Amino acid sequence: MLGRMFVDHPHSVGESYLDHARVATRFGVTLVAAGGACLVHALVPGLFRTTGSRAIERLHREMIARRH
């Protein structure tokens, strides 16, 4: 059970547990920051006009590249 929760998925994408934790943490922090920029943009449309979309595009490119 524990192996399935902590090891199987990272190994299925070619990463160790720590490698996967680093990548997933970086993705999460990037998404939280992009979300914050989007919230600010909602209040002041002149700020952070492309921050959220650029972050998502960058993460998407990286995620696709990691699949191969």
Tokens of 27: 């993705």
Question: Taking the model in full, what pTM does it have?
Answer: 0.85
55 neighbors 33 (Cβ within 8 angstroms)? yes
Tokens of 10: 């990272």
At residue 20, the pLDDT reads: 95
DSSP per-residue codes, 5-64: IIIIHHHHTT--HHHHHHHHHHHHHHHHHHHHHHHHHHHSTTSSTTHHHHHHHHHHHHHH
> pLDDT, tens digit, for every residue of 24-43?
999 999 999 999 999 999 99
Distance CA 16, CA 55 (A): 25
